[in-house]
């Protein structure tokens, strides 16, 4: 099983996909290629589209997998369910001394959704989903989703980013800076989605 960005499927007008599939087929694999979005297949409220490639040596296993794909979920968790319940450190908030505070305060009004600072303007995610977490979140605050709570306007904490990837019962090493934690969260996969696909692979291989 391989994972990559959504745009891999259409890269170079689809020629890249054809080359990859041809290579796997030349090695004797049957190739299943699909773009999955986290919020459609799990309870995690993140809009995250990723290309998943699953290859089988056995045609029967490939056919079983292709005919028994995981289905859409009926409901997803609210954004509030992914947020920390304890007091958030002041370092995550945007106060009046922030260079973009006036624009943030003018645009960020709702508490049931997330926003993004896009260098010169604020983007509201009206679908009540977390925007795609990216690896460059650790390189600048404009990439980290923003929200409004009882205290004010803040960005997601690293723990909340990992919550949006479906991690549970985890602890951070004390010597890893937040910039790297954000990057790791953005570089990760959504655990519940990968688990579902992996279980389907197992059923396909060990079917009776």
Q: Give the model confidence (pLDDT) of 6-47 as tens digits.
A: 999 999 999 999 999 999 999 999 999 999 999 999 999 999
pLDDT digits (tens, 9 = 90+) for 38-48: 999 999 999 99
Domains annotated for the chain, with CATH where assigned, are 2-76+188-205 (3.40.50.150), 79-183 (no CATH)
Alpha helices in 12-157 (DSSP H): 15-26, 38-41, 59-67, 101-107
Alpha-carbon gap, residue 32 to 5, rounded angstroms: 16
Mean of pLDDT values over 174-192: 94
pLDDT of residue 15: 97
SS3 content of the chain, % helix, strand, coil (to 5): 40, 15, 40
Cα distances from 67 to residues 63, 70, 169, 180, in angstroms, run: 6, 10, 34, 40
pLDDT of residue 141: 55
pLDDT of residue 137: 85
pLDDT of residue 120: 81
Indicate the pTM of the whole model.
0.92
Of 44, 81, 73, nearest in space to 166 by CA: 44
Confidence of residue 142 (pLDDT cuts 50, 70, 90): low
């Amino acid at each position: 099983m391989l994972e990559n960005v959504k745009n891999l499927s259409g890269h170079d007008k689809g020629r890249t996909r054809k080359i990859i599939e041809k290579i796997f087929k030349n090695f004797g694999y049957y190739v299943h290629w699909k773009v999955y979005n986290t919020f459609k297949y799990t309870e995690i409220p993140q809009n995250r589209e990723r290309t998943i490639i699953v290859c089988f040596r056995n045609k029967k296993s490939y056919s079983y997998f292709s005919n028994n794909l995981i289905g859409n979920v009926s409901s997803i968790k609210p954004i509030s369910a992914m947020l920390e319940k304890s007091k958030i450190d002041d370092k995550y908030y945007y106060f009046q001394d922030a260079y973009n505070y006036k624009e943030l305060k003018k645009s960020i009004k709702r508490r049931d959704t997330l926003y993004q600072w896009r260098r010169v303007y604020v983007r509201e995610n009206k679908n009540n989903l977390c925007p795609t977490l990216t690896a460059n979140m650790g390189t600048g605050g404009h990439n980290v989703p923003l929200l409004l709570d009882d205290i004010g306007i803040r960005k997601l904490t690293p723990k909340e980013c990992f919550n949006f990837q479906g991690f549970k019962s985890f602890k951070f090493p004390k010597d890893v800076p937040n910039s790297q934690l954000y990057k790791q969260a953005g570089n990760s996969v959504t655990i519940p989605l990968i688990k579902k696909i992996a279980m389907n692979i197992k059923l396909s291989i060990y079917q009776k």
